[in-house]
Amino acid sequence: MELQSTLIAHVKDAVKKIYDVEIENLEFQPTRKDFEGDITLVTFPMLKTLKTNPVKLGEEIGNYLAENVSEVSGFNVVKGFLNIVLSDAYFLDFFNEIKDRKDFGILPAAEDAKGIMVEYSSPNTNKPLHLGHIRNILLGFSVAEILSAAGNKSYKTQIVNDRGIHICKSMLAWERFGNGETPKSTGLKGDKLVGNYYVKFDQEYKKELRKVAENELKARIEKANLKNQWENLSSVDEPFLKIVESEYEKVLRRYIYEKTDLDTEIIDKKVFYRSDFILDKNNKQDQAILLFKGKFIAFLNRNTFLSVGNIESEEDELIAHYLKNGINSILIKIEGKPEIINNIKILQDAKQMLLKWEAGDPEVVALWEKMNQWVYDGFEKTYDALGVDFDKNYYESETYLLGKDVVNQGLEKGIFYKKEDGSVWIDLTDEGLDEKIVLRSDGTAVYMTQDIGTAIQRVKDFDISGMVYTVGNEQDYHFKVLFLILKKLGFDWADYLYHLSYGMVDLPSGKMKSREGTVVDADDLIAEMTETARNISEELGKLDGYTNVEKEELYRIIGLGALKYYILKVDPKKRILFNPEESVDFQGNTGPFIQYTYARIQSIIRKADFEFKSVEESYKFHEKERSLIKQLQLYPETIQLAAENHSPALIANYTYDLVKEFNSFYQNVTILGTEDATEKSLRVQLANSVGNVIKSSFGLLGIQVPERM
């Protein structure tokens, strides 16, 4: 970096001397591998003002630099690129500076530096953590570490969503169907146990929902007095029966697609449950349609609604088959209607429970505390397994009332406004956004209110000037609005809020849904990765002399390394498609590959039991040594870049490049085998420096490195 500023100064001097022109912006970039040189000046942009040709200019500047800058030992010009070769002495200087520093690249935080709070994980307490949480947790943890390494103070936090209807659902189901089960009595992890009852609630809910929908529908049909004459259906004006009619029409069409070889478009155009007015009794096609339509209606009329049992022929069987699907669609549509949902007893009971909780009912609160504790114990195990921690936990049960005061103050200042029904809103249409509610008409807080209050609380609790929220990109809009509101409320720190928005982790089958059991469980995944690491290690059999305990620890380190690297190497904002069928790789651009390289380096260091010789100024670097040192030089700026971009992926990719470079060095140049004592010293120390950086950068990703593997 220092070098670049000397070069800039000298290039400016050169241009001034030769052309008598002051040049402003110069562009340097690392020289591409296929050309000789270390750093390249792009001369294209200067041509316009200097009115010369690129090769001539390159030669002129190159000569000047070679003569006047001691670090420059040579150059070559390719079109508008001046490739500058730096001296071995320059690289040696750099290397001597960093070779004994374990903290190379890491900037200590200034004493008076304000902190940045990183929020991540923030789970609901009604179900176990899954792969989606893992991405969140790894990202948040890593970004906090990177921010620290880049010279900031960072604090890790999570807001535990410990209250609300979701946990009441688990509580209710446990109370009703749990028979007093506990994590102890079942041997289940607490979060798993509570999660099971959340699923149980959903199953019961769906059962009841179906029953209520059916009954309601039957009642309305009876009331409509169709007398089993389904062709009269279209004359009934009733919303539920309209759904029935439209689904019946679909079924009818499907049946006629099957029975005739008419084009589906023609059928769609001609077949209506409602009427036959288009159909012509003398037209052959229309006759066919009328025939099957007649059979369909006849079948319907022979059966009462929701039963399709009165089957007399093969024909009926086909109709019954389509009808079953149709009735299912009808019920699904009706189940979405508020008049039905609001009549589901078990859901009402859960809501009742939430009200009791809010009123501080001792029994409900006791149950809530008990089950939440089970969940916390479970989460703790998962966090431990992942090797992450928090400086402070916030709990929604303690913060959900925050923010109301601020909103009321904002109301007085005219930032918010009240609607007739008493609800409070903010108008963000000037910013290209919508209106957003901040207080319900009954005066209670919404999600946004809480987040406003919690943010303010955190600034009170900690000496921080900014916050990073690690939350999925489905909440992009929410955070845009939140930050804008805080800014309008006049908080100066609102400019330093950052939504670390990351893409969803999807499965080949689509989105993960806890209620439907289509999730990749965090604990299971960690266990599987460890298992894979074990299998590979045992097959390779390089661990003679390790105890079983040491081996287990190693498998854990490798398995987690594979998982963490796999997730962190991807740009946070991109979505990840995770295929559980294809296991995470352990070869190539992977965590274990990098860990393996580290272990190799440690092996060399263990064997290098000789006095290191200092390296003389005249040392001539091997080409591989040179590129390794160049790669090491990039580490500090990579950390800064990763911090600015909140992107662990940049650290991962940097480390991979370093390790690739090292392995090439390792396999092409002998380290301990060389006769030359200086060479041997330098190479071992170089390997050691690479090892230090791997350990350091992997630390930023939350990945451990093994001494052997």
Residues 654-693 that bind RNA (CB under 7 A): 656, 660, 663-664, 666-673
Query: Could you tell me the smallest distance in angstroms from the CB atom of residue 570 to RNA?
Result: 4
Query: Could you tell me the smallest distance in angstroms from the CB atom of residue 609 to RNA?
Result: 12
Query: Could you tell me the smallest distance in angstroms from the CB atom of residue 350 to RNA?
Result: 12
Strands 464-472 and 115-119, sheet pairing: parallel
Q: Which of residues 454-473 bind RNA (CB under 7 A)?
A: 473
Contact between 626 and 91 (Cβ < 8 Å): yes
Q: Binding residue for RNA (CB under 7 A) from 542, 552, 610, 623?
A: 542
Query: Can you name the residues that pair with 150 across neighbouring β-strands?
Result: 107
Query: Could you tell me the smallest distance in angstroms from the CB atom of residue 475 to RNA?
Result: 6
Residues in the chain: 709
Cβ proximity to RNA, 208 vs 657, nearer residue: 657
- Rounded Cα distance between 507 and 131, Å, is 10
Does position 158 interact with RNA (CB under 7 A)? The reply is no
DSSP string for 545-607 = T--HHHHHHHHHHHHHHHHHHHHHTS-TTS-EE--TTSPPPSSSSSHHHHHHHHHHHHHHHHH
Burial label for 285, CB within 10 Å (0-12, 13-18, 19+), is: middle
Query: Could you tell me the smallest distance in angstroms from the CB atom of residue 65 to RNA?
Result: 15
Cβ proximity to RNA, 48 vs 284, nearer residue: 48
Query: Could you tell me the smallest distance in angstroms from the CB atom of residue 241 to RNA?
Result: 26
Cβ proximity to RNA, 263 vs 707, nearer residue: 707
Q: In angstroms, how far is CA 292 from the centroid of its own chain?
A: 53
Angle at 547 between CA 543 and CA 549, to 5 degrees: 115
Q: Which of residues 34-93 bind RNA (CB under 7 A)?
A: 34-35, 37, 40, 42, 44-45, 48, 78-81, 83
Burial label for 97, CB within 10 Å (0-12, 13-18, 19+), is: exposed
Q: Binding residue for RNA (CB under 7 A) from 168, 533, 628, 690?
A: 533
DSSP string for 489-511 = TT-GGGGGEEEEEE--EEBTTBS
Q: How is residue 657 written in tokens?
A: 């490049």
Q: Binding residue for RNA (CB under 7 A) from 119, 396, 625, 679?
A: 396
Query: Could you tell me the smallest distance in angstroms from the CB atom of residue 554 to RNA?
Result: 7
Q: Which of residues 410-439 bind RNA (CB under 7 A)?
A: 419, 421, 423, 432, 434, 437
- For tokens 């279209």, the residue is 234
Contact between 536 and 555 (Cβ < 8 Å): no
Query: Could you tell me the smallest distance in angstroms from the CB atom of residue 267 to RNA?
Result: 25
3-state secondary structure of 81: strand
Q: How far is CA 29 from CA 34, 43, 94, 654, 656, in A?
A: 14, 11, 19, 16, 20
Does position 588 interact with RNA (CB under 7 A)? The reply is yes
Q: Binding residue for RNA (CB under 7 A) from 565, 593, 621, 698?
A: 593
User: Which residues neighbour 606 within 8 Å (Cβ) at sequence distance 6 or greater?
Assistant: none
Binding segment toward RNA, per CB under 7 A, in 304-312, 442-450, 489-497, 521-529: 442-450
Binding segment toward RNA, per CB under 7 A, in 309-317, 353-361, 370-378, 646-654: 646-654
Smallest CA-to-CA distance from 339 within 243, 423, 442 is with 243
Cβ proximity to RNA, 251 vs 402, nearer residue: 402
Binding segment toward RNA, per CB under 7 A, in 89-97, 183-191, 365-373, 584-592: 584-592
Query: Could you tell me the smallest distance in angstroms from the CB atom of residue 60 to RNA?
Result: 17
For the chain, the distance separating the N- and C-terminal CA atoms, rounded to the nearest angstrom, is 36
Q: Which of residues 166-195 bind RNA (CB under 7 A)?
A: none
Q: How many residues bind RNA (CB under 7 A)?
A: 92
Does position 201 interact with RNA (CB under 7 A)? The reply is no
Cβ proximity to RNA, 488 vs 575, nearer residue: 575
Cβ proximity to RNA, 462 vs 593, nearer residue: 593
Query: Could you tell me the smallest distance in angstroms from the CB atom of residue 82 to RNA?
Result: 8
User: Which residues neighbour 648 within 8 Å (Cβ) at sequence distance 6 or greater?
Assistant: 138, 139, 142, 143, 146, 568, 572, 642, 700, 701
Cβ proximity to RNA, 458 vs 569, nearer residue: 569
Q: What is the CA radius of gyration of the chain?
A: 35
Cβ proximity to RNA, 8 vs 669, nearer residue: 669
Q: Which of residues 471-510 bind RNA (CB under 7 A)?
A: 473-478, 503-504
Cβ proximity to RNA, 162 vs 521, nearer residue: 162
